[in-house]
Structure 1
Amino acid sequence: MIDETLNEIKEEALHFLKEIIRIPTENPPGLNYDKIVEVIKSKMEEFEYKTEIFYPSEEELKRLVKFGKGNRPNLVGYLGNGNVKIAFNAHYDVVPAGEGWSVNPYEGVIKDGKLYGRGSADMKSGLVAQLYAVELLRREKLLPSSLQIIQTFVPDEETVGNINAGAYYLMEKGVLKNVNYTIFTEPTGPDNVCYGHRGALWAIIKVYGKKSHGGLPQLGVDAVKASVQIINELYNSVPDITSSYNIIPSVAKKPSILVGTIKCGSWMNIVADYCEFTIVRRLVPEERLDDVRDKILHVLDDVNKRTGIRYDYDEFYAIDTIASNVNDKIYKIFKEKVKEVRGKEPELVLSPGTFDIRFTVKEGIVSINYGPGKIEQAHATDEYVELKDFYDSIKVLALVLLELGKI
């Protein structure tokens, strides 16, 4: 019967996925957050959830939000009254679409069995899958009475942070603290069961020089030149090691550093007295955060000693590798159900990118990630999700809930 009902709701689920992809929730700055929350809330109430929206106050936003502005609504829905509390979590914000797409990133174009659009993989397909997995069981009157489902839809995952106005804020408010399990639906692929992620360090480095005429650069202190030295040395500071952990894709088994943005100078004929750039350093599990930070600071201090250039180091996100308890029975259940639906033994993997699972694992909550999107599509131009993967993930999640209802 589940297969029959799944076939009946496929078009409905796809239509809803296209509907929310058409709402550009780009972050930063945090566009259309209130709009998408109202759309999802309406759908949840149609599915008989009791809903609640948590809004950080203006004072809380000053503490929680480093990038962007405006409301940061967190939508929570409750279904059932069982003693086993299963929380699902998805973020509704997406990274900016940027240029170079072959399709409109906010139209929801379907070609060759794939749905294209910003957020199709990361992670609006996961958001819809977790909602319709529960709905599949509700319509079949198979949702176990022993369960309470808590759906959480949050902002600001994409701008990370040691704290944020999304999942972290819900942890502060106690919404996610007393659950038995948290299931995330980030894009780690429908043939993978994910138990955590690599470590990461994000920072803004500000370099201060002194202006002078472009014809007399010797009289100035060139912030661009010093920044180039720092950047080169930071890139060279990353060790050439390969992790023994199953991190996907395989290129992520090596640590990396990225200088994502650079902002320097005010005019081409003036020696730049200021340069600002961002770094994202990805750690493999064999590395320790303190050691990586010390190496970065050593590079900055070394250039300072050689050139006299001043700098500020603003680190706003830093975390070691996060790993949940893979020996818990939920991992066994997921692996069995993925194999049943997909016809192959799933891989147990770490994600290359960090996500909100860090907040629940730190609280001792057994957490797991299973989502339809592939990690290689996250943040990509012409991002897509395969429709088969989307539908299969709905079925996997539904079957997992049936098993969790027996424990």
Structure 2
Amino acid sequence: MTVGYGSSGIGNRSDLEAILGHLAVLIADDSQNPPRAITADSPMYAHVRDALPDGFEVETVDHGDGHVSLHARRGEPRVLFNCHLDTVPVGEGWSVPPLELTVRDGRAWGRGSCDIKGAAAALLRVARTTEAPMALLFTSDEEGAGGCCVKNFIGAGGAEGYATAVVCEPTGNRAVLAHRGYLSVKGRFSGVAGHSSEFRALEDSAVHAAGRWMASALARCRAEADAGRPTCFNIGTVSGGIKSNVIADRCDLHWSARLAPGGDNEALFDEVAGLAGAQERAEWQIPFSGPPLPAAGKTTDGARAFADRHGLAITESVDFWTEASLFSAAGLDALVCGPGHIEQAHIVDEWVELDQLDAAYSNYRALVEGAAEGVDP
């Protein structure tokens, strides 16, 4: 670990050094996703188990294929902190070792430092500096847009007993109350192959059927936007047919939609997937569906009240998706709050300010101790 604190305004140097000690171990464990070569015995999970003091009940579950979750709980907390420990691939062009913590000029560098191993390191320090009830959920599949760990945790009843989920994605340590959802859909339109001299090509071509559907879907989204209900909709790829004089018997496409907070992915899919007679010509697959925050039928009222009670600065909404929406869909008040800024995530030479780590530590400790003292009902 290369260290150079620079002009950081960290108040308690021992807290900073402890946070960076945790972060160094977490960054050094290669958790790139893909390939997501992660197990329950990976060094980062072993470190978390070793770092947590006596009094925590810890359960590590390996769901297979690199999907691992660790749930740690002390006492009867009402707040659950969630961090993913997987990262995007390293990529090329780094000026510092990507899987080694470098600290200089008031910043901590390395893959995952901002997104979001830095938050996890701050939480581990909190766990050792207070005896208040506390709960953590560390997962390893968020960057693969799968959400398997959180979904399985919720499905197994793991979220029962918690009132609020704090998802520690980078927000500049401000409480984010809302964000768009993300729906990813693949479709295959079928047709009847033949010579293009046959007039039936107008109806039988899979490409033509897909084209009619695309026009209808775009018109629908435009009408929704004109009515004040904008949905970000994008047809990303289209591929079909073999040549211009052959009626296409297949056309594949991949589209996505990002609904506004409170929207319903399932309702959108049910409406859009059947446009232009597609229910008779298309087969659909949904690789990923993440609801907006708050989820359909929910409001930001509970999360806003939580942030206000604890004195957190608020950012109403961001454009990126997080797993906070999965907790919202499960009935919890959910918000996003973590060190660093999204512009520093997923980049070459990823970094987070030491002051941001310090502020996260202070925020998280205040949340833990405030809830224990009855700030929350």
Give, as a single letter, the amino acid of the residue that structure 1 aligns with 2:334.
S
In structure 2, the partner of 1:319 is: 291
Distance (whole Å) between structure 2 residues aligned to residue 113 and residue 242 of structure 1:
47
Residue 372 of structure 1 deviates from its aligned partner by 0.7
- Any idea what the Cα deviations from partners look like across 1:70-109, whole Å, max 9, x if unmatched? 2422112233x3x444322111222334456565543444
Residue 276 of structure 1 deviates from its aligned partner by 4.0
Superposition pairs of residues 213-362 of structure 1, within 5 angstroms: 238-239=221-222, 241=225, 255-259=231-235, 276-285=252-261, 289=265, 292-293=268-269, 296-297=272-273, 301=276, 310-315=281-286, 316-317=288-289, 319-322=291-294, 323-326=299-302, 329-334=305-310, 336=311, 338=312, 346-362=313-329
Residue 357 of structure 1 deviates from its aligned partner by 2.2
- Any idea what the Cα deviations from partners look like across 1:348-374, whole Å, max 9, x if unmatched? 423423322233323333333211132
| Change over 3 Å in CA distance of 1:274–1:119 after alignment to 2 | farther
- Any idea what the Cα deviations from partners look like across 1:110-139, whole Å, max 9, x if unmatched? 56433344333222222222222232x23x
| Change over 3 Å in CA distance of 1:185–1:273 after alignment to 2 | same
In structure 2, the partner of 1:60 is: none
| Change over 3 Å in CA distance of 1:94–1:262 after alignment to 2 | farther
Give, as a single letter, the amino acid of the residue that structure 1 aligns with 2:67.
R
| Change over 3 Å in CA distance of 1:19–1:208 after alignment to 2 | farther
In structure 1, the partner of 2:137 is: 152
In structure 1, the partner of 2:46 is: 41
In structure 1, the partner of 2:353 is: 386
Query: Which of 199, 203, 210 lines up with 2:181 in the alignment?
Result: 199
Superposition pairs of residues 84-163 of structure 1, within 5 angstroms: 84-98=77-91, 105-110=98-103, 112-135=105-128, 137-138=129-130, 143-144=131-132, 148-160=133-145
| Change over 3 Å in CA distance of 1:319–1:87 after alignment to 2 | closer
| TM-score, L = length of structure 1 | 0.69
Distance (whole Å) between structure 2 residues aligned to residue 398 and residue 111 of structure 1:
25
The question of whether the paired residues in 2 share the 8 Å contact of 1:205 and 1:311 is answered with yes
Distance (whole Å) between structure 1 residues aligned to residue 171 and residue 307 of structure 2:
15
The question of whether the paired residues in 2 share the 8 Å contact of 1:243 and 1:286 is answered with no
Residue 188 of structure 1 deviates from its aligned partner by 2.3
The question of whether the paired residues in 2 share the 8 Å contact of 1:130 and 1:185 is answered with no
The question of whether the paired residues in 2 share the 8 Å contact of 1:207 and 1:311 is answered with yes
Give, as a single letter, the amino acid of the residue that structure 2 aligns with 1:12.
A
Distance (whole Å) between structure 2 residues aligned to residue 134 and residue 290 of structure 1:
39
Distance (whole Å) between structure 2 residues aligned to residue 242 and residue 17 of structure 1:
47
| Change over 3 Å in CA distance of 1:385–1:222 after alignment to 2 | farther
In structure 1, the partner of 2:68 is: 73
Distance (whole Å) between structure 2 residues aligned to residue 103 and residue 261 of structure 1:
36
| Change over 3 Å in CA distance of 1:218–1:255 after alignment to 2 | same
Residue 158 of structure 1 deviates from its aligned partner by 3.0
Give, as a single letter, the amino acid of the residue that structure 2 aligns with 1:51.
V
In structure 2, the partner of 1:402 is: 369
In structure 2, the partner of 1:12 is: 18
Residue 393 of structure 1 deviates from its aligned partner by 0.9
Greater displacement, 313-322 / 231-240: 231-240
| Identity in percent | 22
SS of residue in 1 equivalent to 2:80: strand
Residue 42 of structure 1 deviates from its aligned partner by 3.0
The question of whether the paired residues in 2 share the 8 Å contact of 1:107 and 1:117 is answered with yes
Distance (whole Å) between structure 1 residues aligned to residue 115 and residue 196 of structure 2:
46
Distance (whole Å) between structure 1 residues aligned to residue 88 and residue 120 of structure 2:
16
The question of whether the paired residues in 2 share the 8 Å contact of 1:195 and 1:325 is answered with no
Give, as a single letter, the amino acid of the residue that structure 1 aligns with 2:175.
V
| Change over 3 Å in CA distance of 1:271–1:371 after alignment to 2 | farther
Residue 151 of structure 1 deviates from its aligned partner by 1.5
| Change over 3 Å in CA distance of 1:231–1:17 after alignment to 2 | farther
Residue 312 of structure 1 deviates from its aligned partner by 2.2
The question of whether the paired residues in 2 share the 8 Å contact of 1:94 and 1:158 is answered with yes
| Change over 3 Å in CA distance of 1:227–1:380 after alignment to 2 | farther
Distance (whole Å) between structure 1 residues aligned to residue 90 and residue 293 of structure 2:
28
In structure 2, the partner of 1:182 is: 165
The question of whether the paired residues in 1 share the 8 Å contact of 2:176 and 2:316 is answered with yes
Distance (whole Å) between structure 2 residues aligned to residue 107 and residue 227 of structure 1:
48
Distance (whole Å) between structure 2 residues aligned to residue 211 and residue 332 of structure 1:
62
Distance (whole Å) between structure 2 residues aligned to residue 291 and residue 39 of structure 1:
39
- Is 2:59 the counterpart of 1:52? yes
Distance (whole Å) between structure 1 residues aligned to residue 220 and residue 349 of structure 2:
33
- Any idea what the Cα deviations from partners look like across 1:198-230, whole Å, max 9, x if unmatched? 233221123456889xxx998999878987886
- Is 2:11 the counterpart of 1:26? no
The question of whether the paired residues in 1 share the 8 Å contact of 2:191 and 2:249 is answered with yes
SS of residue in 1 equivalent to 2:148: coil
Greater displacement, 89-98 / 112-121: 112-121
The question of whether the paired residues in 2 share the 8 Å contact of 1:237 and 1:295 is answered with no
Residue 281 of structure 1 deviates from its aligned partner by 1.0
Q: What's the Cα RMSD here?
A: 4.2
SS of residue in 2 equivalent to 1:16: helix
Give aligned pairs, total. Answer: 354
